[in-house]
Structure 1
Amino acid sequence: MIDLRHKPLIEGEKVILRPFKEEDFPFIEECLQDPEVLKLTGSTNEIDWDFTRNWYQTRNEQVDRLDLAIVDSSQGIFVGEAVVNLYDEKNHSMNFRILIGPRGRNRGLGTEATQLIISYIFQTTTINELTLSVFNFNPRAKHVYEKLGFVVESVDENDLEFEGEWIDSNNMKLTRDSWLDRKVG
């Protein structure tokens, strides 16, 4: 098992990754109601807000996952979240996911947040690989992941029905070795 009970403060040039705070919740609500977030995450817009608030309030207590708020350094506000979860003991890997709300798009905040959390995981844990899934209708995210070293391992065909169309999902992986090679190279 992996121990992620310590929730770090990670500062980049554009973003700060930090534990969630109560004052983030109005911005979390905004993100979770955003049509683009709903589409790109394959979510529905039926949200139990009491459950959701409680869920976010317990993220900082989790020992088997790392949930961090993404804060825009220039504005000091919550713009999304970066999560490492779903430990796979056999492969000594974890899943990565990121969500960027409307206030944080198209400025490289998601790219920097992804770089920061990847570096943190590979520098402070023994995790061998990070995995993720990205829907085909999100080529911008897929491009960012590829730029950071993730490679497509497999494709889940017809993984999501969206507006009457079936969308494939790309399963991607970044290994510690390939991350180290890129970092040194």
Structure 2
Amino acid sequence: MTPSLTETPTLTADLVRLRPVTADDVPRLHTLMQDPEVGRLTGSAHSDDEAGAVPWTVEQLQEIYARWEGEDDRLVWAVEDLASGEVVGEAVLLDHDPGNASIGFRIWLGGARDRGLGTEATRLAVGHAVEVLGVHRVELEVYAFNPRARRVYEKVGFTLEGTKREALRYADGWVDCHVMAILAQDWRGPSDPGSPVRPATPAPRGR
């Protein structure tokens, strides 16, 4: 099966919906990026002083999302909290390698932690990658000072494969980066444990 990344589907479960990012979502995402934890845990900030600083304006960020929408190696979703109807972060399948049937994954949430949203969003994205795109391998990286995220990935089925030692410079020290992956044969399905995925609704690219 040849994976298609020409459409960004809407994926819905019990707690979250993954849907295409719209221009109207970007101001909200820009605000969420100012959460210091987002900057620190994603490695985009290299000190406590930088955490919470966003290097783009809203207009520049809108241009970035519009450009990503036209690229065929990734799917970019806004993560919507179904309880509030608000966008709470971003989830991305990226760096698609058709020859090796592999793809990368990243996710960040701002101010919506410890409610299971990240776990469910990760299951939705991985399920789409394996079951719809037909990839064999989904890979991610997580920094050592983010054990909460690592537990989420392990819950979904990711396995630690190795460590890039002192890969991130933060404040006055160095932080290891853990490489994790899940293979198609390891995928237990999005309904395990208890997060049934409702049918995906394809959304054509373009606004």
Runs of 4+ with deviation above 4 angstroms: 180-184
- C-alpha deviation, 1:22, in angstroms: 1.9
The residue number in structure 2 matching 1:4 is 5
The residue number in structure 2 matching 1:75 is 84
Judge conservation of contact 2:142–2:149 (CA < 8 Å) in 1: yes
How many residues were matched structurally?
A: 184
- C-alpha deviation, 1:51, in angstroms: 2.5
Alignment of 1:1-185 (within 5 A): 2-44=3-45, 45-49=53-57, 50-102=59-111, 104-180=112-188
Asked which structure has the greater RCO (Cα within 8 Å, sep 6+), the reply is 2
Q: Structure 1 residues 169 and 177 mapped into 2: Cα distance closer, same or farther (>3 Å)?
A: same
Judge conservation of contact 1:158–1:166 (CA < 8 Å) in 2: yes
- C-alpha deviation, 1:183, in angstroms: 7.4
Amino acid at match of 1:123: E
Amino acid at match of 1:57: A
1:159-184: CA deviations, max 9, x gaps?
A: 11111111000000100011158979
TM-score, with length taken from structure 2: 0.82
The residue number in structure 1 matching 2:50 is none
* Structure 2: unaligned runs, 5 residues or longer: 46-52, 193-207
More helix by share: 1
TM-score, with length taken from structure 1: 0.92
**Quick one: distance in 2 between partners of 1:78 and 1:180?**
27
**Quick one: distance in 2 between partners of 1:107 and 1:91?**
35
Judge conservation of contact 1:2–1:64 (CA < 8 Å) in 2: no
- C-alpha deviation, 1:129, in angstroms: 0.5
**Quick one: distance in 2 between partners of 1:22 and 1:15?**
20
